[in-house]
Amino acid sequence: MKITDTDLKEIIEHTHVFEHGVYYFCEGFIISEVNEGVDYNWGIVKEVIEIATNYYGKEATICLISNRINQYSINPLGWHNFFNSGRKINGLAVVSYTENSMVSVVIEMLFFNSKLERFHNIYEAINWARELNLEKQTTSRKDD
C-alpha cells in the first residue's frame, strides 16, 4: 500500500522524489518507496544520504522504513559501504507484501549492522521505528 493511499499523509514533513523512487521524511524516520525494476545500489544510497543529511543534520540517527510496494533489486553491499562510511542508522523496517521479498531481507541482514525487522504493514513499522528511536534517545541520555 502506497503511503499516499493511507491516512499517514499528515505525518509527512517533506517529500523528495528521485528518479528511482519517493522518500517521505517524517519526524525521526524516512519512508522509502522505490520504483519498479530499480537496481538499488551504493550510488543511489549516496544520493539519499545527502538529502537526509541536509534535512535532519549530520549527527542525526534515524530509522528507515522501506515500504516495498514494487519489485526491485538491492545490492546489499550498499549497506556495507554505508556503515564503512561512518554513518549510523537506528534501524531498518522492511514492509513487504509478498513472501518472495523475505529472501532479500535475509541477505540484507548479513550486511546490516543495526536492527532490522520485517513487517506486513506500514503502521507496525512506524510504531517500531518510533519506539526504537525513543529507546535510542533514552540510552543516549543515560550515557551522557
With cut-offs at 50, 70 and 90, classify the pLDDT of residue 140: low
Per-residue pLDDT at 87? 85
Confidence of residue 131 (pLDDT cuts 50, 70, 90): very high
Mean pLDDT of 89-103: 85
Give the span between the Cα atoms of 74 and 66, in whole angstroms.
Answer: 12
Domain, as residue range, for 86: 3-143
CB 33 within 8 A of CB 18: no
Q: Structurally, how many domains does the chain consist of?
A: 1
CA dist., res. 111 & res. 126, Å (int): 22
pLDDT, one tens digit per residue, over 76-91 is 888 888 888 888 899 9
Give first-to-last CA distance, the chain, whole Å: 40
Q: What is the pLDDT of residue 142?
A: 62
CATH number for position 115: 3.30.750.24
b/e per residue 72-93 (b: at least 16 CB within 10 A): bebbeebbeebeeeeeebbbbb
Note the pLDDT tens digit of each residue in 12-42: 999 999 999 999 999 999 999 999 999 999 9
